[in-house]
């Protein structure tokens, strides 16, 4: 068990509704968005950054993504000293006292879209892909199609990102049901990859709120 997991295992009983999934203390339930807390290693010996994790599960992922998360300031140079596991757990408990409710309010795609709206000008392909797929999941199919098409028309920079964008675009061109099936498959793969089964709750199906 990693040091992060050892510390968060001691924290978990103080945070009802959380489950330790590998190295992340996850707030249940999990549908299309992973919400939780994670201690990330730093170059400073015996110190780790405490992260509030907000990670979409609607696209293929190999590793924990912190793009939409935030670092929670700790008491020791804004970090958590972790050489003493039990003391570190007490520090983390104090740091998280006012953080859990904010994550509870961020359960699904509508709340995730609101959170990432500040990044709407970010032209990184994978960020725009997240915007497209989140719009799709709240029923804004025409907006999703517009974003995906605009990305397909741009020069390819990262082949792995373009491959996912292309698959999503082609699925949507085949019909909303095809993209929904693709997203659900990616979501289920991520649930298995990050050992989220104890927190998993199957999301509802697509509900269109705007014309396709």
47-101 per-position pLDDT tens digit: 999 999 999 999 999 999 999 999 998 777 789 999 999 999 999 999 998 899 8
**CA-based nearest residue to 34, from 48, 10, 51, 13:** 51
Contact between 84 and 10 under an 8 Å Cβ cutoff? The reply is: no
> Could you tell me the two tokens for 50?
């405490």
* Ranges of the chain with pLDDT below 50: 211-212
Domain holding 19, by residue range, is 3-104
Q: Cα(207)–Cα(157) distance, rounded to whole angstroms?
A: 33
Q: Cα(115)–Cα(55) distance, rounded to whole angstroms?
A: 11
Residue 206 lies in a domain: no
What's phi and psi for 186, nearest 5 deg? -65, -40
- CA-CA distances (angstroms) from residue 173 to 122, 166, 211? 25, 10, 14
Residues 24 and 95 occupy one common structural domain: yes
Domain count of the chain? 2
Residues 121 and 178 occupy one common structural domain: yes
Q: Which helix (H) or strand (E) holds 50?
A: strand 47-56
**CA-based nearest residue to 131, from 158, 165, 156:** 165
Secondary structure (3-state) at 107: coil
Residue 204 lies in a domain: no
Contact between 34 and 53 under an 8 Å Cβ cutoff? The reply is: yes
Angle between helical axes of 85-96 and 3-11 (0-180°, round to 10): 60
Residues 89 and 117 occupy one common structural domain: no
Residues 53 and 68 occupy one common structural domain: yes
Secondary structure (3-state) at 204: coil
Q: Looking at residue 205, what is its pLDDT? A: 61
Residues 98 and 10 occupy one common structural domain: yes
Among 88, 104, 120, residue at a domain's last position: 104
- Please name the residue that has the structure tokens 């675009």: 169
Q: Looking at residue 71, what is its pLDDT? A: 95
Residue 175 lies in a domain: yes
- CA-CA distances (angstroms) from residue 88 to 18, 56, 177, 207, 211? 18, 28, 47, 44, 52
């Amino acid at each position: 068990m990693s040091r992060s997991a050892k510390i968060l295992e001691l924290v978990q009983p103080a945070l009802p509704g959380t489950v330790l999934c590998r190295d992340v203390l996850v707030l249940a339930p999990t549908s299309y968005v992973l919400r939780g807390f994670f201690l990330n290693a730093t170059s400073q010996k015996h110190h780790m950054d405490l992260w509030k994790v907000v990670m979409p599960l609607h696209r293929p992922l190999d590793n924990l993504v912190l793009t939409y998360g935030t670092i929670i300031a700790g008491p020791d140079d804004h970090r958590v000293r972790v050489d003493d596991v039990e003391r570190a757990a007490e520090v983390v408990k104090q740091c998280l006292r006012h953080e859990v409710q904010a994550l509870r309010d961020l359960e699904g795609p509508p709340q995730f879209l609101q959170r990432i709206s500040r990044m709407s000008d970010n032209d990184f392909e994978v960020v725009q892909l997240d915007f497209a797929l989140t719009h799709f999941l709240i029923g804004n199919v025409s907006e999703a199609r517009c974003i995906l098409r605009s990305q397909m028309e741009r020069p390819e920079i990262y082949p792995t990102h373009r491959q996912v964008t292309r698959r999503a675009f082609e699925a949507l061109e085949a019909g909303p049901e095809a993209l929904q099936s693709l997203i659900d498959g990616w979501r289920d793969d991520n649930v298995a990859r990050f050992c989220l089964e104890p927190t998993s709750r199957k999301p509802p199906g697509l509900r269109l709120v705007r014309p396709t």
